[in-house]
């Protein structure tokens, strides 16, 4: 761990409270966001003034959200808030619901250009007011990490791991180890000691951070392939106003290639300019469209391989690229380029330790 303290000053961390179970209270309608929960916790926890906890300031986003209600505008607002407060703080902790945390973390990684300080998203399975809450540890550990660890990326802290945000997925709705990144080891393990895997941490470009400008709100769709999926359904999904589709296929990127009408429906949409990105339904492994004949069929009609991206990363990346007003051809090209550590470039696929210390690529 490297201490950020310079000239004897404690690091300053902004805690952006966006919502989630961590700050919810129980009502007749179930758990709902309640600003008083975090306020009560902060007021009742002297540990937060410990010398190892950085100075922090809570900035509450209005209204607090159950993250199931998150929309792309919220990603942009959060990214803009980080950019706006960049000069005042050494790091950011984002308190967020777990349901769409992986989407928000991925979107932030594509929206924040030149990020050179930690942005750590965390939340909880149980509210801070619950006797068994995992949120208390998460908040304290996120603050300590934000203040001391050199991990200048958008990350998710949950359970005992710090994950790259655009590689993480929610894998459990009741276990305390709720997130995993199937295609990348954790950036850090949290135990009696915090072990940062510096070989995996990205090298930041010199700041300051900028917000990538989205000029419009594109229509993107997530489509999960299943046995019996019909040409009619695919044809409808790819109709106007759809501009991009993240298609989750089987195994290494395989699709029912024995249904010509189905392939034609896809091919027709692609020819009209819809960008179709192929990701795997498997949590681990990468799409390799030429491994089986059933994948080669997709390769031939111009489906873009999403390599080892998560569904969340692929969808938010597609949204951000289309939202920048780029042409379908350019969007399709950039979907195959690693922009923020979200995919493993093919040449490095064999797992060399150097594979993550890659420079950022301009969106």
Residues marked as catalytic:
21
Q: How far is the CB of 27 from ligand ASP (least distance, A)?
A: 14
CB of 123 or CB of 295, closer to ligand ASP = 123
Q: What are the angstrom distances between the C-alpha of 117 and each of 86, 198, 199?
A: 9, 15, 17
Question: Smallest Cα–Cα separation from 32: which of 42, 14, 19, 46?
Answer: 19
Q: What are the angstrom distances between the C-alpha of 81 and each of 214, 241, 295?
A: 15, 30, 42
CB of 66 or CB of 330, closer to ligand ASP = 66
Angstrom distance (rounded) from CA 344 to CA 357:
11
CB of 73 or CB of 349, closer to ligand ASP = 73
Chain residues binding ligand ASP by CB under 6 A are 19-21, 66-68, 97-99, 123, 125
Angstrom distance (rounded) from CA 21 to CA 34:
9
Angstrom distance (rounded) from CA 282 to CA 182:
9
CB of 69 or CB of 116, closer to ligand ASP = 69
Angstrom distance (rounded) from CA 93 to CA 118:
8
Q: How far is the CB of 343 from ligand ASP (least distance, A)?
A: 25
Query: Can you tell me which residue has the tokens 């997530």?
Result: 222
Question: Smallest Cα–Cα separation from 181: which of 280, 308, 95?
Answer: 308
Q: How far is the CB of 187 from ligand ASP (least distance, A)?
A: 21
To the nearest 10 degrees (0 to 180), the angle between helices 101-111 and 311-323 is 40
Q: How far is the CB of 144 from ligand ASP (least distance, A)?
A: 21
CB of 67 or CB of 288, closer to ligand ASP = 67
Q: How far is the CB of 160 from ligand ASP (least distance, A)?
A: 17
Angstrom distance (rounded) from CA 310 to CA 287:
11
């Amino acid at each position: 761990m490297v201490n950020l303290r310079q000239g004897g000053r404690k690091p300053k961390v902004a805690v952006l409270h966006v919502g989630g179970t961590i700050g919810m209270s129980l009502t007749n309608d179930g758990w709902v966001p309640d600003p008083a929960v975090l306020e009560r916790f902060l007021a009742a926890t002297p540990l937060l003034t410990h010398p190892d906890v950085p100075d922090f300031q809570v900035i509450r986003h209005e209204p607090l959200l159950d993250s199931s209600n998150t929309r792309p505008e919220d990603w942009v607002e959060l990214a803009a808030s980080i950019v706006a407060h960049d000069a005042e703080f050494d790091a950011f902790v984002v308190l967020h619901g777990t349901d769409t945390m992986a989407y928000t973390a991925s979107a932030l990684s594509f929206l924040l250009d030149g990020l050179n300080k930690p942005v750590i998203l965390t939340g909880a399975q149980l509210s801070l007011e619950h006797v068994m809450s995992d949120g208390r540890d998460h908040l304290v550990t996120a603050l300590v990490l934000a203040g001391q660890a050199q991990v200048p990326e958008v990350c998710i802290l949950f359970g005992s791991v710090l994950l790259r945000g655009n590689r993480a997925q929610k894998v459990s709705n009741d276990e305390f180890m709720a997130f995993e990144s199937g295609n990348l080891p954790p950036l850090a393990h949290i135990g009696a000691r915090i072990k940062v895997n510096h070989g995996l941490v990205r090298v930041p470009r010199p700041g300051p951070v900028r917000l990538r400008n989205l000029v419009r709100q594109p229509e993107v769709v997530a489509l999960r392939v299943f046995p019996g999926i019909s040409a009619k359904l695919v044809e409808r999904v790819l109709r106007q106003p759809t501009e991009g589709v993240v298609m989750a296929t089987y195994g290494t990127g395989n699709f029912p290639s024995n249904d010509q009408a189905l392939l034609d429906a896809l091919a027709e949409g692609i020819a009209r300019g819809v960008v179709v990105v192929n990701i795997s339904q498997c949590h681990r492994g990468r799409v390799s469209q030429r491994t089986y004949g059933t994948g080669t069929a997709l390769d031939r009609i111009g489906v873009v391989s999403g390599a080892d991206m998560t569904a969340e990363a692929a969808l938010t990346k597609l949204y951000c690229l289309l939202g920048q007003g780029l042409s379908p051809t350019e969007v399709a090209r950039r979907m195959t380029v690693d922009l923020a550590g979200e995919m493993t470039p093919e040449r490095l696929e064999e797992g060399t330790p150097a594979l993550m210390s890659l420079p950022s690529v301009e969106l």
